[in-house]
Amino acid sequence: MILRILGSASAGVLIGLAGDCLFDRFRYGPDGYNQRGYDRAGYDRSGFDKKGYDKNGFNQKGFDRDGYNKDGYDKRGYDRQGFDLNGFNRRGFDKSGFNKDGFDREGYGKDGYNGEGYNKQGFNRQGYNRDGFDKQGFNRQGYNRDGFDEQGYDCDGFNLSGYNRYGFKRDGSDRAGKTINDYSKLITLIEKDKPKIYKSLDNHELRHASTDIRVNLEKAVSAIVEHWSGEKLDKLDDNITMCKKNGYLEKDFCEKLYGAKNHCNDSVHDTCEKETDQIFFSAKVLEETIEQINGFINPCEPMS
């Protein structure tokens, strides 16, 4: 009986103590905090909950549950996208893929050139590669790796065949084996006929003038073909065609030669009398043909 009474009393005491503990736990003092130091919202006097975060979700060090501060950066200074205050990720590249020096992961800048100044194709901003040649294969002086320019001439002015821009070799001879002196002599002979031609024109002796013009045109155009090709053709028409086809003379001038040839032929072979201005035109074409020869024997003299 005594034991039963004692047992009942102990249980009562325990229940009372438990009740007091529960009551104390949820009892808030005048300042609004319970015995453990938390307010009704679960925050301590410093404003942090049991896990150490304030009402805005930041801990005492200023970081949220994901590890980012109010500015959006973690302890190492990177935001949620992985970029720091300066906009670079852990590898040092910005959102566009360039580092603080302005180069991408392959080492090229926004303009496409690397630190040495070359693009992915290997050319610098001036358009030359490390060997000093452009995309067409020419250097700053205009020569390729073999030493020839776009027209095929070396720094001394000679091509792979050994001829200069005016059709002469280093020994002074051309493809026909002739020299400047040979062409100068030809021009002198043609020039001697000019007074006779213009005198015939003044006297309206058109057949005589046409014949002299035609003969000298044949000599002059034949000389041009021989000089540039080394070939000797008999007919004036064939020589003009050769000049036109191979670019020895401009196409427009070749048409003028055809016209002069036809005027002279008509005057010599037909019974009809040609107009004086047509034969005069042919005489002027002859003078221009002489200038064409002068163009390669006296290249420094301007053509009139």
Residues of the chain where predicted confidence (pLDDT) is lower than 50: 1-3, 5-6, 13, 15-24, 269-271, 304
Percent share of the chain, pLDDT over 90: 83
Kindly tell me the burial class for residue 203, based on how many C-beta atoms sit within 10 Å of its own C-beta (0-12, 13-18, 19 or more).
exposed
Q: What's the whole-model pTM score?
A: 0.62
pLDDT of residue 26: 60
User: Does 1.10.3720 match the CATH number of domain 180-297?
Assistant: no
Which long-range contacts does 94-99 make (Cβ < 8 Å, 24+ apart)? none
Token digits of residue 298: 């006296």
Q: For 3-51, what is each residue's pLDDT tens digit? A: 454 455 555 545 444 444 444 456 899 999 999 999 999 999 999 999 9
The full set of domain ranges for the chain reads 180-297
Q: Tokens 């006297």 belong to which residue?
A: 203
Residue in 77, 39, 31 with CA at minimum distance from that of residue 55: 39
pLDDT tens digits for range 185-211: 999 999 999 999 999 999 989 999 999
In Å, the largest CA–CA distance within the chain is: 174
Share of the chain above pLDDT 70, in %: 87
The whole-angstrom separation of Cα 109 and Cα 125 is 12
Each residue's pLDDT tens digit, 245-259: 999 999 999 999 999
- Please name every residue paired with 108 in a beta bridge, in sequence order, or none if there are none: 114
pLDDT, residue 268, reads 52
